[in-house]
Amino acid sequence: EVQLVESGGGLVRPGGSLRLSCKVSGFAFSDYIMNWVRQAPGKGLEWVSSISPDSNYISQADSVKGRFTISRDNARNSLYLFLDDVRGDDTAVYYCVRVGGSATYILDHWGQGTLVTVSS
Amino acid sequence: AIQMTQSPSSLSASVGDRVTITCRASQVIDRDLSWYQQKPGKAPKLLIYGSSILQSGVPSTFSGSGSGTDFTLTITSLQAEDFATYYCLQSFDYPLSFGGGTRVEVK
């Protein structure tokens, strides 16, 4: 069974930093592109960042460029998102998401999410 | 960046109704469009990918169509468990972009 379990969310002050983790199981993690997607309270979904299986290709939303860093450790079956210089509009549930499909880019498995609250 | 315009933002319907949700891309995205269902407090769930391919386990009351810039999600006979929020996603190019969502509510 495919499982993605996020952790590391919590309360952080504006300008602070936080590292989110996603531990996966049930599939060959090192073969898959992974993403972070977030959702502010009561709002829609926003793609945050993507990383290739070998970490050689990374893409990010403009809203987080220069502040957030995606990384992965294939030996530990783990995906990470380092949030730096956070702002109020970074408050959201952050989802770890697998990209499935060989010919089609689809977000086929999602974690349960971890809540990040930015507040003083 | 590709903008995805989803409509309507909300709709009211009854069990058994036919429901149609549309997404329009700001540029051609071929068929690189998927649809997701989200219920309150839960992670989104993949329904349809490649514009019209039903994900395994998704009821056949759901269907998708379109290519280029205009796409449609149709629920042919709304069931009680289908009341939720629906999102489209373009994966033609980075940055990936979601539509704003459509909340399907009980009439």
Tens of pLDDT along B4-48? 999 999 999 999 999 999 999 999 999 999 999 999 999 999 999
Residue of A nearest to B94 (CA): A59
Q: What is the DSSP letter of B92?
A: S
Choose the closest CB to A95 out of B1, B43, B99.
B43
- Nearest CA-CA distance, residue A11 and chain B, Å: 19
CB of A61 less than 8 A from some CB of B: yes
Residue B80 φ/ψ, nearest 5 degrees: -60, -35
* Mean pLDDT across chain B: 97
Q: What's the rounded mean pLDDT across residues A59-79?
A: 98
Range from A41-50, A55-64, A96-105, B60-69 carrying the lowest mean pLDDT: A96-105
Q: What tokens appear for B87 in the block?
A: 């999102």
pLDDT of residue A96: 98
> Do the Cβ atoms of A47 and B46 come within 8 Å?
no
Q: Mind telling me how many Å the CA of B46 is from chain A's nearest CA?
A: 6
| pLDDT band, very low/low/confident/very high, at B54 (cuts 50, 70, 90) | very high
Cβ atoms of A33 and A61 closer than 8 Å? no
- Are A83 and A67 in contact by the 8 Å Cβ rule? The answer is yes
Per-residue pLDDT tens over the stretch A46-67 = 999 999 999 999 999 999 999 9
d(CA B64, CA B85): 16
What pLDDT is attached to residue A105? 86
Let me know: does B43 contact A110? Beta carbons within 8 Å: yes
Q: Tokens representing A116?
A: 């990040």
- Are the beta carbons of A43 and B100 closer than 8 angstroms? no
pLDDT of amino acid A104: 78
Interatomic CA distance for residues A28 and A12, integer angstroms: 33
Strand ranges in chain A using DSSP code E only, listed in sequence order:
3-7, 10-12, 18-25, 34-39, 45-51, 58-60, 68-73, 78-83, 92-100, 106-110, 114-118
CB atoms within 10 A of CB A75: 8
